[in-house]
Amino acid sequence: MRSVDPTTGEELATYEEHTPEEVDAALERAVDEFAEWRERPVQERCGVLVEAADLLRERSEEYGELMSKEMGKPIEQGVGEVEKCAWVCEYYAERAPEQLADEVIGTEHDARTLVSHEPLGPVLAVMPWNFPFWQVFRFAAPNLAAGNVGLLKHASNVPGSALAIEEVLRDAGAPEGAFQTLLVSSGQVDSVIEDRRVKAVTLTGSELAGRAVAETAGRELKKTVLELGGADPFVVLEDAPIEETVEKAVHARTQNNGQSCIAGKRFVVVESVYDEFLDRFVDAMADLTVGDPLDPETDVGPQAREDLMEELHDQVERSVEAGAEVALGGEPLDREGPFYPPTVLTDVPLDSAVACEETFGPVAAVIRVPDEETAVEVANDSTLGLGASVWTADLERGERVAREFEAGCCFVNEFVKSDPRVPFGGVKDSGYGRELSRDGIHEFVNRKTVWVDHGLTED
């Protein structure tokens, strides 16, 4: 397993994949540790998260640089990602005791009835490369707090990040079997899911990967949570504050080099402000600096791999062939590394690639619509439903439109983002289940009904 810097093509490190025997030993450690970890008081488990948060902040520059080198994230965004991981650890350290507390329910006068929240056991997390720390910690923090133990199958191009996460949790006091990285190929995932010692699976990734994992887990009757792709609409109404909206639009499309499931991808703009929005948007996208992700001045780094850039460019070419116009960018940059420039397409046919597929890079499809009603129709005309945003000066109108979106995470005058305090996840082909907040910690627990009848012991 090789870690390669996408900016330079330099091989950073190689890692031996785990053998079947090593995977078996890891699963056995997970089972053994679960028996003890679940019995620790929740406050003690949360203490590990507090220590992990401190270590993450101490090492934020180191881990931010690691992400820049492994998958091309601009360094400041990498450091910010590590800080966000510290936040989710602190959030669950503070809230998990309350979220896992027994829920007493009134029933019969002579009975005590409650719902307890009990861990399931070893949970497998299949995680992507685009947010190599955050995606893992938003799984690890609630599950470790709940008393589960974690097994991480990370993307094959970020093995260094995977091992760094295991290291920081171990240094924070998590026992060896509480969180383990499995350096295995995607082809070995099915056998891990099928193993009786694994009790549940969560995946963040492509729709294709989600279907495969869900099929295998379904045969084994194991709980799954899937966070899959997105083609998020960014709806601009006629009363939107254009200057501020454009600033947010650029960030929404190009953060993480445009490689984000919840990036704004389809910019649906009402006709009366279309020209002004487009002119400002193209100018702002053109002003972005594309370059070395380790340079603090860089806004957009390389795509994570050459093949990913080629797939993105193919989507652009197919859309242009279908009738879209290139207002900015549209060709890979002539330099070493898989650099794709900020790109804006206009006159986008609604059945073209950039309107129907997830574009995983800094390519924006700008779509003109006559009015709000059509904007909502276009926004919902997708097989995906992860996030959506609407931009307007009328907050009541904005909330009404947000409620009309067919998506899991809907924002008014803010781009879509994940936040430990609110549930995160999608509908339609963007997956099911929720991460973060109270909903996230309850996904992989047994919500057990306990009924204690006092009738036989009453005088």
Parallel, antiparallel or unpaired: strands 431-432 and 223-227: antiparallel
**Helices 372-380 and 395-404, axial angle in degrees (round to 10):** 30
| Vertex 126: Cα angle to 42 and 96 (nearest 5) | 20
Q: Give the integer Cα–Cα distance in Å for 399 and 85.
A: 29
Q: Tokens for 33, please give them.
A: 């540790």
Question: Cα separation of 356 and 349, whole Å?
Answer: 9
Residue 92 token pair: 């669950």
**Catalytic site includes residue 409:** no
DSSP run (H or E) holding 114? strand 111-119
Gyration radius from the chain CA atoms? 23
**In angstroms, what CA-CA distances link 177 with 1, 135, 166, 173, 194?**
23, 20, 10, 11, 19
Residue 221, C-beta contacts closer than 8 angstroms, at least 6 positions apart:
none
Minimal CA–CA distance to 253: which of 415, 411, 391?
415
Residue from 89, 261, 356, 409 carrying the catalytic annotation: 261
Helix, strand, or coil here: 224?
strand
| DSSP-assigned letters across all residues of 174-216 | --TTTEEE----GGGHHHHHHSTT--EEEEES-HHHHHHHHHH
Residue 323 and residue 63: Cα distance in Å, rounded? 43
| Residue 307: partners with Cβ closer than 8 Å, 6 or more residues away | none
Identified catalytic residue from 51, 166, 227, 358:
227
Active site residue 317: no
Residue 267 three-state SS: strand
Q: Which residues are known to be catalytic?
A: 227, 261
